[in-house]
Amino acid sequence: MMSPARAALRLTLFLLWTVAVALPYAALMGARLPHRWLARVYWRSVTRIIGLRVRLVRGRFTRARPLLILSNHTSYLDIVVLGALADAGFVAKSEVGTWPGFGLLARLGRTVFVERKRASTGKGRDDIARRLTEGEPLVLFPEGTSNDGNRVLPFKSALLAVAEPRRRVAAAPDAVAAGPPLCIQPVSLAYTRLDGLPIGYGWRPFYAWYGDMDLAPHLWTVLGLGTVTAEVIVHDPVDPAAYPSRKALAQKCHALVASGVSELLSGRGPATDRHREDTPHDDAGDP
């Protein structure tokens, strides 16, 4: 049952916590000191504040670099879930940078903003490649949009051009050409339980944000509900060099992610895995 009082309390705590972290985080960034650790502390605390229980069902993030993480996309909550599990930045559509509040968070998190226009694909690809060469893992949602949480949309392959081994970035061609090969790691994410009870088909849109849904009322509803469980499967890394084209690579990653989402939504899998305690844990396989 949605509780306005619960929503108000969670929103207030979220805003206070965000303000408390934003200034020291910005200071660390400005001084070029290590700061990604504070981002994960922030997201881990946000999960507790908003009633989001994160479970890593299976898998570990690789320590290989450069690393591009590919995940299905259901909601803005995906950023909280993956931010709590991985020391990684995000790739987002350019409009996110203009959203009140969320845009500031995205910029503080050094999000790579990309245009959805075909003419701008090359710039987005190069911006992603440049950040990866700096050693920072990035999370990309290759569906290109969020959906209702019941399926995984086809992956768009355009931005996976960054995986082509001879691709050079105009600003730093030698660094990119000489660097180690890109590692890609698919991730499956699903919202499976509300207050311990399975979330059925009809309840998933309460957490999925897609189509023409308005952000503010959707967020208010989410904050007023009980404790939701998000389950994650981290698949084995995929070697881009093993696939003849980025489309083939996208199809392989889509098949892995879709299979994992289906497993999570259906409740399949070993009982010992499915009842692991809440993450994030430091031994979960940090990037």
- Domain membership of residue 281 (yes or no) is no
Is the predicted pLDDT of residue 172 greater than 50, yes or no?
A: no
Is the predicted pLDDT of residue 255 greater than 60, yes or no?
A: yes
Going by pLDDT thresholds of 50, 70 and 90, the confidence category of residue 121 is low
Query: Can you tell me whether residue 191 is helix, strand or coil?
Result: strand
Cβ neighbourhood burial of 155 (10 Å; 0-12, 13-18, 19+): buried
**E strands in 41-109:** 52-58, 67-71, 89-93
Which CATH number covers residue 84? Answer: 3.40.1130
As a whole number, the mean pLDDT across the chain is 84
Cβ atoms within 10 A of the Cβ of 225, count? 20
Interval 267-286 mean pLDDT: 49
pLDDT at residue number 174: 46
Interval 214-234 mean pLDDT: 94
- Domain membership of residue 251 (yes or no) is yes
Is the predicted pLDDT of residue 170 greater than 60, yes or no?
A: no
- Domain membership of residue 222 (yes or no) is yes
Amino acid at 253: C
Going by pLDDT thresholds of 50, 70 and 90, the confidence category of residue 272 is very low
- Domain membership of residue 280 (yes or no) is no
State how far the Cα of 118 lies from the Cα of 130, in Å rounded to an integer.
20
Number of structural domains in the chain: 1
- Domain membership of residue 154 (yes or no) is yes
- Domain membership of residue 138 (yes or no) is yes
Q: Residue with structure tokens 């023409």?
A: 212
- Domain membership of residue 272 (yes or no) is no
- Domain membership of residue 176 (yes or no) is yes
| Structural domain that includes position 112 | 4-267
* Model confidence, pTM: 0.87
